[in-house]
């Protein structure tokens, strides 16, 4: 039961107030810069075959995308001519509409497919990052009760002044709260300063998770949550929850990146129309530099004149994975938001698909 050890670590770390921001020692900027010159010997063929497929680079992203006034709807109006991107063989699940930058969840609610993650951000950092993301046009924000930064997230949303119905806010119910979920849901709403959240997830598979899921269903009926889902569930747990649920999970949030593509759980979830959302989409704070320096990813980025982070984000989106890169750096947040003016070619997608190693990068 691998989730138990990870859960235990997180609980210990957070309740003890461990300074997780220090974990990993450094972010990935330097490594990413360096990755532009990474050896691409393994990717020569990819460069040759895909160079002509490269469309305009990220630098040509419309300025409107970074305007505070840009909303999900405005963004869709200014989007490129991309058609709806159907899920591919390796990416079972609901089809993404990349022109609108959304996916229609199995409960009929539209969810942005690109957002901001706030793991290990302090309240102050979360406020700044959420503000920067909303200013950059990002409309999906992911937090969790165990992150201890819900109040900062709420302040960032309030400061940005974006109409509440244009922001899609996710939080998660921690395992310690599974037997007392109704109160925990209310506590999250209070921390966030919100009447409702758009999505709430069970953070991990754990004892009393069905009881907690039913509490979230009750909160949907009460208008406190618009959609519910699960996180860190695998095939058996996904099947169990599908049986127990009165409202099918709308989202499965699991570790997913090019080295760990989570195809089995994704396909299992898709049987209920549940969409995969990637955590550690860039490999996490500790290992994103490894992905950025991967020759295949560096080559795909070079093909389009974009950064490795943007190439990976675009791979998630074209694979049908909701992507929530985390960042405390406003420049990175801007960069991560601007992935709409280029499209990875089929051979580039296939090359990144082939990077699957079944390799988890999570450290807990």
Ligand X SMILES: NC(=O)c1ccc[n+]([C@@H]2O[C@H](COP(=O)([O-])OP(=O)(O)OC[C@H]3O[C@@H](n4cnc5c(N)ncnc54)[C@H](OP(=O)(O)O)[C@@H]3O)[C@@H](O)[C@H]2O)c1
Q: φ and ψ at 309, to 5 degrees?
A: -60, -45
Binding site for ligand X (CB under 6 A): 27-29, 32, 117-119, 142, 203, 231-232, 253, 279-285, 288, 307, 309, 324-329, 332, 335-336
Instruction: Specify the residue, 49 or 208, whose C-beta has the smaller distance to ligand X.
Output: 208
**Residue in the block written with tokens 């959609």:** 227
Closest CA to 227 of 112, 58, 88: 112
Helix or strand or coil: residue 200? strand
Q: What is the DSSP string of 162-178?
A: --GGG-EEEEEE-GGGG
Instruction: Specify the residue, 14 or 49, whose C-beta has the smaller distance to ligand X.
Output: 14
Instruction: Specify the residue, 67 or 329, whose C-beta has the smaller distance to ligand X.
Output: 329
Closest CA to 321 of 176, 106, 115, 145: 115
Instruction: Specify the residue, 19 or 222, whose C-beta has the smaller distance to ligand X.
Output: 19
| C-beta separation of 317 from 95 below 8 A | no
Q: Which of 131, 147, 213, 260 is catalytic?
A: 147
Residues in CB range of 156: below 8 A, 6 or more apart: 126, 127, 128, 129, 130, 131, 133, 134, 141
Instruction: Specify the residue, 28 or 54, whose C-beta has the smaller distance to ligand X.
Output: 28
Closest CA to 88 of 297, 276, 222, 298: 276
User: Min. distance of Cβ 48 from ligand X in angstroms?
Assistant: 27
147: annotated active-site residue: yes
User: Min. distance of Cβ 13 from ligand X in angstroms?
Assistant: 12
User: Min. distance of Cβ 174 from ligand X in angstroms?
Assistant: 10
User: Min. distance of Cβ 272 from ligand X in angstroms?
Assistant: 19
Question: How far is residue 209's CA from residue 236's CA, in Å, rounded to a whole number?
Answer: 14
Q: How many CB atoms lie within 10 A of CB 43?
A: 22
User: Min. distance of Cβ 196 from ligand X in angstroms?
Assistant: 19
Q: Which residues are catalytic?
A: 147
């Amino acid at each position: 039961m691998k989730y138990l050890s990870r859960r235990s670590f997180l609980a210990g770390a957070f309740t003890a107030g461990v300074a997780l921001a220090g974990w990993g020692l450094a972010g990935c900027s330097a490594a990413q810069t360096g990755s532009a010159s990474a050896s691409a010997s393994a990717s020569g063929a990819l460069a040759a075959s895909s160079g002509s497929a490269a469309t305009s680079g990220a630098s040509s992203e419309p300025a409107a995308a970074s305007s505070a006034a840009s909303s999900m709807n405005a963004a869709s109006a200014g989007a490129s001519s991309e058609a709806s991107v159907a899920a591919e063989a390796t990416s079972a699940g609901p089809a993404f509409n990349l022109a609108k930058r959304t996916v229609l969840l199995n409960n009929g609610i539209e969810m942005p497919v690109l957002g901001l993650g706030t793991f290990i951000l302090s309240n102050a950092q979360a406020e700044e990052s959420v503000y920067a993301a909303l200013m950059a046009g990002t409309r999906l924000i992911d937090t969790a009760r165990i992150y201890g930064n819900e109040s900062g997230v709420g302040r960032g949303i309030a400061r940005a002044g974006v109409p509440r119905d244009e922001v899609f806010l996710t939080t998660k119910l921690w395992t310690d709260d599974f037997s007392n979920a109704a109160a925990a849901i209310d506590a999250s709403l209070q921390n966030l300063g919100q009447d409702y959240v758009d999505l709430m997830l069970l953070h991990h598979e754990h004892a009393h998770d069905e009881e907690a899921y039913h509490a979230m269903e009750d909160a949907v009926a009460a208008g406190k949550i618009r959609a519910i889902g699960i996180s860190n569930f695998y095939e058996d747990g996904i099947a169990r929850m599908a049986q127990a649920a009165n409202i099918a999970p709308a989202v499965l949030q699991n570790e997913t990146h090019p080295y760990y593509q989570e195809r089995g759980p994704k396909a299992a979830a898709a049987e209920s129309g549940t969409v995969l959302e990637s955590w550690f989409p860039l490999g996490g704070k500790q290992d994103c530099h490894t992905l950025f320096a991967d020759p295949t990813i560096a080559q795909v980025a070079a093909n389009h004149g974009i950064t490795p982070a943007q190439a990976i984000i675009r791979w998630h989106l074209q694979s049908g994975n909701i992507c929530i890169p985390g960042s405390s750096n406003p420049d990175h947040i801007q960069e991560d938001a601007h992935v709409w003016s280029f499209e990875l070619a089929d051979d580039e997608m296939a090359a990144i698909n082939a990077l699957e190693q079944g390799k988890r990068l999570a450290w807990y």
